[in-house]
Structure 1
């Protein structure tokens, strides 16, 4: 019960990696705000909220558009009014268009950056505003975990907007960690490699899978639970004297 009675917002928590994080947090005793545009999992299956509650966990669903300040503000306000504080936020929601520079329209660029960069900016800003009002526990007022990507450090093949947005997440994580460490705000990121979330389409294109398998030393590709375990560690009190880090969860991809 590493997160017992802690309140955590997880954005993009209806599906994939966000769903795994929300479920893992609930297993460890957190009050989880399942925040997403819809509560329907993109990959199918049971809803995150239903799974948490059926297992005896504590959770609420909040409809959230991370690209809207008013929506983010309302989600944080709900969390505080419902549970009394905001201890953790996981900025996970992200999108991509799978297009190279010359094929990416201005509208597509703005949409991806609105979620992947501005959405994380809004989530971090509103969380820090709230956390600064809270008393410190062992020197910590709150923890932020951003979901970046290996493609925040290296080329994202034929997906310029996605990679650029994730690079912004890596930078924001370091900036916020340094600026607010003295105030007891912990800010880290987790950078997944190729994670098999159950999505269809480009995510499981045979060429993409073959490329990922060839680049990954570990003898399998990643699972949402791999990312969730790392996020849990950074969100817990076990992660002491760690801030501004971008933890790779990639089976050795970046080492290869």
Structure 2
């Protein structure tokens, strides 16, 4: 129960990594606000709020398009009105581009940046604004964990806009940590490597999987649970004197 009675907002909570984080945090005692643009589950199965309801009665789903300022403000306002404060933000929602630079049109670029950068900025801003109003508990007013990517530090093959957006989120992690650690707001990130979430399509293309296996030092690829446990550590009071860190969860990919 490492997050007992902590109020957590998880964006992109319906599927994949965000869903795994929301469910794990609920099992650790958190009050979970699951935010997503849809209740549909990419991998199939029951909506996340139903899965959360099997763990705790203290969970809500708030439909949110994080690229829209009014919806992000409403997400945080409703959370505070209902639960009193925001202890943790998991900034996870994202979209992929799937195109190299020469094939990336303005509409493709805008779609990725509107969610992965503008959406992340809006959530960070509202989280910091709220946390600055809160009392200090166990040396923090609040914790933020951004979900970045190894492709924010190395090239994302044929996914130009996505790689650029994740590099921007790595930078924002450092900037928020630098500016607000003195205010007892702790900001870090988790950078997944190749993660098998259960998603179909290009995510499990045999050639791409083989490339990932060759690049990964460990004898398996990652799972959503691997990322969720790393996020749990950084969101918990166990993560002391850590700020601005981008924790790799990549099976040793970046070490090679």
Range into which the TM-score falls when normalised by the shorter chain: over 0.9
Aligned-residue offset at 1:200: 1.0
Alignment partner, residue 32 of structure 1: 32
Distance 1:58 1:49 in 2: 10
| SS in structure 1 at match of 2:222 | coil
Aligned-residue offset at 1:139: 2.0
TM-score normalised per structure 1:
0.99
| SS in structure 2 at match of 1:157 | coil
Residues 1:47 and 2:44 are matched in the alignment = no
| SS in structure 2 at match of 1:166 | helix
Distance 2:70 2:185 in 1: 23
| SS in structure 1 at match of 2:241 | coil
Q: Deviations over 1:118-137 (max 9, x none)?
A: 11111110000000000001
Alignment partner, residue 56 of structure 2: 56
Alignment partner, residue 228 of structure 2: 228
Alignment partner, residue 241 of structure 1: 241
Aligned-residue offset at 1:138: 2.2
Aligned length: 256
Distance 1:145 1:116 in 2: 14
Residues 1:109 and 2:109 are matched in the alignment = yes
Aligned-residue offset at 1:55: 2.4
Aligned-residue offset at 1:48: 1.3
Aligned-residue offset at 1:24: 0.5
Distance 1:61 1:179 in 2: 31
Alignment partner, residue 198 of structure 2: 198
Q: Deviations over 1:99-135 (max 9, x none)?
A: 0001000011011011111111111100000000000
Q: Deviations over 1:64-123 (max 9, x none)?
A: 111111111100111111111000000101111210001000011011011111111111
Structure-2 change in CA distance of 1:57 and 1:214 (3 Å): farther
TM-score normalised per structure 2:
0.99
Alignment partner, residue 214 of structure 1: 214
Are the aligned partners of 1:27 and 1:57 in contact in 2 as well (CA < 8 Å)?
no
Distance 1:55 1:144 in 2: 23
Aligned-residue offset at 1:57: 4.7
Residues 1:172 and 2:172 are matched in the alignment = yes
Distance 1:237 1:183 in 2: 16
Distance 2:3 2:221 in 1: 28
Alignment partner, residue 83 of structure 2: 83
Alignment partner, residue 141 of structure 1: 141
Q: Deviations over 1:147-201 (max 9, x none)?
A: 0000000000000000000000000000000000110000000000000011111
Structure 2: gaps of 5 or more residues: none
| SS in structure 1 at match of 2:89 | strand
4+ long deviations beyond 6 Å: none
Distance 1:187 1:57 in 2: 28
Distance 2:57 2:137 in 1: 23
Distance 1:170 1:20 in 2: 21
Alignment partner, residue 157 of structure 1: 157
Are the aligned partners of 1:26 and 1:57 in contact in 2 as well (CA < 8 Å)?
no
